[in-house]
Amino acid sequence: MLKITDLVKRYGGGDPVLKNLDLMIEGESVVSIIGSSGAGKSTLLRCINRLVEPTSGSIELNGTELTKLRGKSLRAARRKIGMVFQGFNLVDRLTVMENVQSGRLGYISTFAAITRRYPKEDVRRAFELMERVGIAQYADTRADQLSGGERQRVGVVRALMQDPEILLADEPTASLDPKTSEQIMGLLRDLAGELKLPVLINIHNVTEAKEYTDRIVGMRYGRIIFDDKPAALDREAMDRIYSGSPHADRSEDMREAS
């Protein structure tokens, strides 16, 4: 269970990007976060695994408070949070197997990592997962030889290798063509079911969000203004989420403040 309470993130001295945000994700649901660019979707996701430092508030994953962790305990917590990136973030010059095994770097010693002596069960798990998503034949291929959809599959397998308790996906399909994009979304949904894994997906494509996820969270300018089943996302709700501009939102805030 992921429980976010009163989360604030402020860059420098400006307006906060996330404003006293509360969010609860229970069980193995697939949740999508929609909202226009600059609404704070990415920042929210990155606060969870602390790639971005939250300013204040609390984030709890299965009973562990994440915001106070440092050093070793932070790394141990991050192992339990898988992340899939928009730009895939694969190491281009390494093989697919090395990329997949890099999801285990938090578990194995640096020496084992450098010498590529991966534990037998990790290699077996890697082949199982790669077989599942259809990239097993590429184990020895360099990551930059693959197509976009294949690369994102490597990204997904890498995240799953962490044996995560939750999976974060930051615009996982934004760099892909529509067909591949649907395949990846379908894969994420199916894997979430198979592995009993809650998945949190930032996404721009509302149609895909409706089709592939169980719950939609709508963000606008650092706040959650919609949180319901996909069926409840009607025209009016869409307008509230996407209308206006960050600039208008800002001046609105100024009026409230004055």
Partner 1 sequence: MSETRDTWQKPPFIANPVIRWAVYLGAAVYFLWVGATMPIDWARVADGLGRAGRIFGGAFPPSFERSGLLIDGFLESLKIAILATTGGVLLSIPIAFMAARNVAPLPVYYIGRFVIIVARSFHPVIVAIIFVKAVGFGPFAGVLTLIVYSIGFVAKMLAERIEEIDFGQVEAMRAAGAPFLSTMFYAIFPQIMPRQIGLTIYQLDSNLRASAVVGIVGAGGIGATLANAFGRYDYDFALAITIVIVGVILISEGVSGMIRKRIG
The C-alpha atoms of residue 36 and residue 206 are separated, in whole angstroms, by: 11
Residue 208 Cβ, how far from partner 1 at the closest point, in Å? Answer: 23
Residue 195 Cβ, how far from partner 1 at the closest point, in Å? Answer: 17
| Number of amino acids touching partner 1 (CB under 8 A) | 32
Say how many CA atoms lie within 13 Å of 116 toward its Cβ. Answer: 7
Q: Is 156 in the site for partner 1 (CB under 8 A)?
A: no
Find out whether 44 and 36 touch, Cβ atoms under 8 Å.
no
The C-alpha atoms of residue 101 and residue 116 are separated, in whole angstroms, by: 9
Q: Which of 26, 62, 65, 76 binds partner 1 (CB under 8 A)?
A: 76
Q: Is 94 in the site for partner 1 (CB under 8 A)?
A: yes
Contacting partner 1 within 42-71 (CB under 8 A): 49, 51
Q: Which of 26, 87, 117, 251 binds partner 1 (CB under 8 A)?
A: 87
Contacting partner 1 within 211-240 (CB under 8 A): none
Rounded to whole angstroms, what are the CA distances from 97 to 87, 100, 165, 249?
Answer: 19, 5, 22, 46
Let me know how many helices (H) and strands (E) the chain has, helices first.
10, 10
Q: Is 114 in the site for partner 1 (CB under 8 A)?
A: yes
The C-alpha atoms of residue 14 and residue 222 are separated, in whole angstroms, by: 13
By beta-carbon proximity to partner 1, the closer residue of 31 and 48 is: 48
Q: Rule CB under 8 A: which residues touch partner 1?
A: 49, 51, 74-79, 81-83, 85, 87, 89-94, 98, 102-106, 110, 113-114, 155, 158-159, 162
